[in-house]
Structure 1
């Protein structure tokens, strides 16, 4: 160690006279330190002690120490009695930093709601099955598919029992599986009504992808079947469970920038396969409007908490395009609301992807661009103060939208709550879409039944964490 001290002195005081480069010094010092530590450990072993020295004091395994004993953790955490309530840790960030969310508080696996997923297409494989890994109150326990080979592969990937895999012909046997409490229907739109009704008759709660069905009559039949079976029915409107959309809704309804006067919302994309079920009317019910235009329609209703009393629509499809033999390519429409707000919306199956909305108020505007996507949502706000124009991008940490909506439904099942987006919410959207199609056919505005109650068709507000 004296050699190291000597070298340090030379390097610091007279580097030019030492004749030792910095690289040589570091190499030699490392070797010397290793030898010194090894020798010290050997000496300690001879005395039966393990001693480590530092500038703060000495600790010995025999129990003697000249440094204060430090607690193993920060101040005690608050641990609630209920297992699914978050543990509350002490605050550590300054108030200038983004606030952390609550600690994860998953329900024990044996107490989570068990789901059977019906349909193993793009949405299920790409989004829903991975989302269950982020769920805290839900688990996947069964599969239903028309392809047994695909189903068996997916079952192995996600640890699902072979006896809990069913073909469509075996769907009704779900009633005999006690692990299945809820069914998530992810089929083409034209099949939603049949499988919802049969699922309710099998005694299971139903979470159904949007659009709810092909017609408002089918929606009503689904609601009636679930009510008769005393089962819950929820439509998977994931936007209404996403925190950044809720932030914009709060800005609008609190009139942060005064009264909102005008909203524009667009959801467009370019489809390619004419044989895909989305281009077959019997399976899809329609084209761009019920598939992606529905996001504009439902989100505007959610943001305002109002129901439109009039719509005016226009529809167009490129002549000769094989994609649009049965369903429409484009729909644009306006909705008039009792408060005086006008919403201008558009959807298209034949242009490059754009997903956005903006609400324009008296003293500023707010919205998302992109909006409606599974991830990467970006809120935007603009307002003026004196001579300064502010443009902000406030953003709440994103959560998996599918996991959020699934866990909300599970909470409704276990706590006997009405889902925030029940069947009645889906039915209302179909009534409005049917009026838009009617307006496009007839070339005139179409009046809607007046609904004066705020959030008239919604159930229990989900908690945002």
Structure 2
């Protein structure tokens, strides 16, 4: 892999460097890290199945407001009933030596509270994204984990996905020349009654939930942090779903090098998650780019002017929940080897700040 020291430093800042190190870097104990899953919804199910396929992770506890549901999952994953907690008494896990870490799989506005409580209980934290609903909460989460001397990792599973890493490598190698612009989008038609359609739970609209994939991808693809933003929102469907949050968001980000990125997200229609990067020698893109499986990488570029086009069209054969297995094992390896995760709390905080900047550019008030 032909990466300069400067490029590698950029990857480190983006939380991706360790995933591009040679296979087998560092030594990992044979002990498996035990995870307590906080919240047993859809995303938690993917994580649970991912842990089953992992090498260094296991499920050792649950926190849920539904005891009967938690007991069913506990029986499925071999977790004793005395390792099931509710939201009021979960602090008792401080005495449970089988729980090394927690996976926070709750609505966005609950991430901060349960990350901080878990840290005070002495447990490492793997928290779903977006990290929180406010910049202040993200900062408090980082501070709490540092104070408790526990690790905080944000669940950016695509930081560990081979095709996304290959796209980064191709850009760093100069395969498509100097990057000029990036386009990206992601969205879906949200049904009525989803918690994400309330500002209290979601923090805002689709930018928090799916637009964050595009913002984060533009950062790791360029290896830069955006310097300026524009934003605009709209709501077309006045059917009661969007009384609190907007339906559509589009934005631009300008990077210090001059690279321009445009993004869109929506809760109003099925919008395949993709990115496309245009350089002076060609382009590369992924569509889908952010799904749990079936990711497709394409590229067209020439090595020298007049040479035949190099064409790439590959589909990653890995199936769900492999991305979650990679993510869990990275966190476990960091705990076992006392290393900083490649997507630490600071990575989530940066996205929170950029999301806030985009909304403010659009005239939308978010904290």
The answer to whether the 8 A contact 1:118-1:186 is kept is: yes
Dislocated runs of 4+, deviation >6 Å: none
Please give the root-mean-square deviation of Cα atoms over the aligned residues, in Å: 1.8
The equivalent residue for 2:8 is: none
2:109 paired with 1:186: no
The equivalent residue for 2:67 is: 148
The equivalent residue for 2:41 is: 121
The equivalent residue for 2:269 is: 351
SS in 1 for 2:88: helix
Residues 296-317 of structure 1, C-alpha deviations (whole Å, 9 max, x = no match): 0011111111100001011111
2:138 paired with 1:219: yes
* Alignment counterpart, residue 373 of structure 1, candidates 291, 295, 302: 291
The answer to whether the 8 A contact 2:286-2:297 is kept is: yes
SS in 2 for 1:322: coil
The total of aligned residue pairs comes to 336
The equivalent residue for 2:328 is: 406
2:355 paired with 1:433: yes
1:33-44 counterparts in 2 under 5 A? none
TM-score (norm 2): 0.88
The answer to whether the 8 A contact 1:316-1:329 is kept is: yes
The equivalent residue for 1:447 is: none
Separation (CA, whole Å) in 2 of partners of 1:165 and 1:265 = 41
The answer to whether the 8 A contact 1:318-1:324 is kept is: no
Separation (CA, whole Å) in 2 of partners of 1:232 and 1:247 = 27
Greater relative CO (CA pairs within 8 A, separation 6+): 2
The equivalent residue for 2:306 is: 386
SS in 2 for 1:419: coil
1:12-411 counterparts in 2 under 5 A? 108=30, 111-125=31-45, 127-273=46-192, 275-318=193-236, 320-384=238-302, 386=306, 388-394=308-314, 398=318, 400-411=322-333
The equivalent residue for 1:24 is: none
Separation (CA, whole Å) in 1 of partners of 2:241 and 2:301 = 43
Distance change >3 Å, CA 106–CA 133, structure 1 → 2: farther
Separation (CA, whole Å) in 1 of partners of 2:276 and 2:315 = 15
SS in 2 for 1:398: coil
The answer to whether the 8 A contact 2:188-2:269 is kept is: yes
- Say which is worse superposed, 204-213 or 386-395, in terms of deviation: 386-395
